[in-house]
Amino acid sequence: MFLNTHTHHLTLKSDVLELYNQFPKALNHEAKLFSIGIHPAYIKTSSIQEEIEIILQSLTHQNCLAIGEIGLDKLCETNFALQISVFEQQLKIAEQYRFPVIIHSVRAYQEILQIRKKLKLSVPFIFHGFNKNEQLLNQIIAQNCFASFGKNLLSNKNLQIIFANLSADQFFLENDASEISIQEIYAFAADLRKISIEELQLQQAENWNTIFGYEIQLK
Question: pLDDT of 93-139, one tens digit each?
Answer: 999 999 999 999 999 999 999 999 999 999 999 999 999 999 999 99
- For residue 194, being part of any structural domain is answered with yes
104 is in an annotated binding site: yes
**What local confidence, expressed as pLDDT, does residue 142 receive?**
96
- Band (pLDDT 50/70/90 cuts) for residue 219 is low
Distance CA 33, CA 44 (A): 26
- Band (pLDDT 50/70/90 cuts) for residue 162 is very high
Q: Is the pLDDT of residue 19 over 70?
A: yes
What average pLDDT does the segment 145-159 reach?
A: 98
Spell 94-119 as b/e; 16+ CB within 10 A means b. Answer: bbeeebbbbbbbeebbebbbebbeee
What average pLDDT does the segment 144-161 reach?
A: 97
Q: Is the pLDDT of residue 218 over 70?
A: no
- For residue 47, being part of any structural domain is answered with yes
| Side chain identity, residue 78 | T
What is the percentage of the chain residues whose pLDDT exceeds 90? 95
| Side chain identity, residue 77 | E
Residue 170, domain CATH: 3.20.20.140
- For residue 20, being part of any structural domain is answered with yes
- Band (pLDDT 50/70/90 cuts) for residue 195 is very high
- For residue 30, being part of any structural domain is answered with no
The number of beta carbons lying within 10 Å of the beta carbon of residue 215 is: 9
The set of residues, in sequence order, having a beta carbon less than 8 Å from that of 18 and lying 6+ positions away, is: 3, 4, 7, 9, 10, 11, 31, 32, 33, 182
What average pLDDT does the segment 36-42 reach?
A: 98
**What local confidence, expressed as pLDDT, does residue 13 receive?**
87
Q: pTM for this one?
A: 0.97
- For residue 192, being part of any structural domain is answered with yes
176 is in an annotated binding site: yes
CB 208 within 8 A of CB 218: no
73 is in an annotated binding site: no
Length of the chain: 219
Where in the sequence is the domain holding 58, given as residue range(s)? 2-24+40-212
- Each residue's pLDDT tens digit, 41-98: 999 999 999 999 999 999 999 999 999 999 999 999 999 999 999 999 999 999 999 9
What is the percentage of the chain residues whose pLDDT exceeds 70? 99
The number of beta carbons lying within 10 Å of the beta carbon of residue 91 is: 23
Distance CA 59, CA 55 (A): 6
- Chain mean pLDDT for the chain: 96
Rg (CA), the chain: 16
Partners of 147 in the β-ladder: 127, 171
Distance CA 32, CA 20 (A): 8
- For residue 152, being part of any structural domain is answered with yes
CB 84 within 8 A of CB 116: no
**What local confidence, expressed as pLDDT, does residue 144 receive?**
92
Write the burial class of residue 219 (CB in 10 Å: 0-12 exposed, 13-18 middle, 19+ buried).
exposed
The number of beta carbons lying within 10 Å of the beta carbon of residue 202 is: 16
- For residue 218, being part of any structural domain is answered with no
Q: Is the pLDDT of residue 29 over 90?
A: no
- Structural domain total, the chain: 1
Distance CA 159, CA 10 (A): 27
Q: Is the pLDDT of residue 216 over 90?
A: no
Q: Is the pLDDT of residue 12 over 90?
A: no
- For residue 29, being part of any structural domain is answered with no
